[in-house]
A and B are shown apart, each in its own frame.
Chain A
Amino acid sequence: MVWRLFAPQYIFDMTQLIVVDVLSVLVLALTMRWGSYAFVDTTTA
């Protein structure tokens, strides 16, 4: 039973999920960074 947890298929699936999670957080950080520049309200400052 336990060995099935370490089958390559699941390890690859898990890695892909981790890669997607990490990358999407990076992309989101860039989006928010970009957003904070593009929309900064300098007219009232």
Chain B
Amino acid sequence: MRSGMCAYNLLMCTGLFSNSFLEAQAPALLFLGQTIVLGTGLYAVRLGMGRGAFQTILIAAVSRVSKEAAENVNRAGEVVLPSFMDVELIYRVALPLFLIAGVWGWWLRKTHRSIFSRPTADYPLELTGFGRVLLFMILPFELLCVMGFWTLQTQSGADTVYRSMSLIFPWGVYMSVVAVVARLLWHPVLVRCKDSPQTPLSMAHTAAHFALTMSILAAVFLGAVCLVLGVRAAWVVACLSVQLLLWLDFSRSMQLRVFLLSSQSLADGARAGTPQDQRARLLPVRVADCCVWGFFTLWYFYASGHVCSFGALHIEAAFVGFEKFYFLPGGFLLLLDTYGPGHGMCLLLLPVLVAVASRTSATRRAAARAHGEGVEFVRRVAQALAGYQFLFSFQFVSQPSWGCCVVLFQLTACPGMHCGVCVLCAEAPDGVAAIRPAVHI
């Protein structure tokens, strides 16, 4: 991860010297991102992964679609949808929403299966009731609310009755986001042992379980983002979901492939199977992970119809679910609209990237044996989050007066956060200090 962050920052710093990169950042980002995705596809071919190469081609193709969709977002004029049961309505509203529901359903099911497909004969696991609701019902519910809101708001003959009725739907979405976040902070575990619900999870399930929890949170957040962005950006949100989730799956299978290759050569007695070799083989994957995450973040900021100017703020986002403008909720919705699709989604899925990546690395296993699995895992996530924050501080380099302050602040704050987590994990009397692998299957 660390090397990937360095590579990304180097690229961005080089870009800052070029005027055209600053002037036309969005197309340049798209081009660079596609190049890196396809380059990783070539690496996948070298490792003998045809499926991975196909996935990268698909991701690059979706980038092209998202470019078309982004142009549609920026078109001027009020959105007026045709009446109910029209083909255009299906194409513009229903199809992207079904695509979003489908791709998230696929990903959640995959993560869910990776927990339950392990041999657990002496330890039968099951989802908790709330986990079951979250996994199968919450995103479809949110998307139904979104669909209802859009169709009522944008009918060509919409009158005031329709408009006031449609205010119920956004509140359905907001309430479900609040409920899920509150529940996950109060009790974040969604899987329990069938016989004794108090027994903690085993080490073997932690990364997969964490990936499931964070994916659900990201899915719930996506529903709100989709609602606030409005009907024009439906295809952009669909492209965002497809790209991020396909990349997660691609990264996971690449890590697994490298691990298999290394253990195979270890079994053959070759020197190539050492952890150093594994790290060298994983380096291109890690660099690509970070670069792609950085580019997706900034690209979806632009693709969802934003540019860095106050005139381009989507003021109408502050009125989703409200009749008047209220400062705090309105401001929050504006923030959600501006930074939700790029920064919010990538940040929420970043721990998932860490979780799917950290399952197979030999160095991680060694570190986990030394510190304890939980401590090591939380530290990894903290490191990735700190690195991700750092990605954006270098945007200021071209502005010396406060740019230096920002970079200095981040230089101290990121390692500070990381160290804070280490100290908390090691020394706090209870809570996180209790992170110890308790049960081994």
Contact = CB atoms under 8 A, between A and B. Distances in A.
Contact of B209 (A21, A28, A38, A40): A38
Nearest to B437: A39
B309 A8 contact: yes
B210 A28 contact: no
B200 A42 contact: yes
A36 B200 CA distance: 10
Contacts of A12: 308
B381 interface: yes
A13 B12 CA distance: 14
- Size bracket, chain A contacts: 20 to 34
Given A10-B396, A27-B385, A40-B200, A34 B210 contact: yes
B171 interface: no
A9 B399 CA distance: 10
A34 B355 CA distance: 13
B266 interface: no
A30 B338 CA distance: 23
Main secondary structure of the interface of B (DSSP, over half): helix
B401 interface: yes
Contacts of A39: 200-201, 206, 372-374, 434-438
B351 interface: yes
B432 A37 contact: no
Contact of B310 (A4, A8, A37, A43): A8
Given A12-B308, A43-B438, A28 B382 contact: yes
Contacts of A15: 335, 338-339
- Size bracket, chain B contacts: 35 or more
Contacts of A14: 406
Given A12-B308, A30-B185, A37-B188, A23 B347 contact: yes
B103 interface: no
Interface string B399-427: 10110001000100100010001001000
B432 A41 contact: no
B18 to A, nearest CB: 16
A27 B189 contact: no
Contact of B187 (A21, A24, A37): A37
Contacts of B166: none
Nearest to A9: B308
B123 interface: no
Contacts of B417: 25, 28
Contacts of A4: 399, 401
Interface of A: 4-5, 8-10, 12-17, 19-21, 23-25, 27-43
Interface of B: 184-185, 187-189, 198-201, 206, 209-210, 213-214, 217, 301, 308-310, 335, 338-339, 343-344, 347-348, 350-351, 372-374, 377-378, 381-382, 385-386, 388-389, 392-393, 395-396, 399, 401-402, 406, 410, 413, 417, 421, 424, 431-432, 434-439
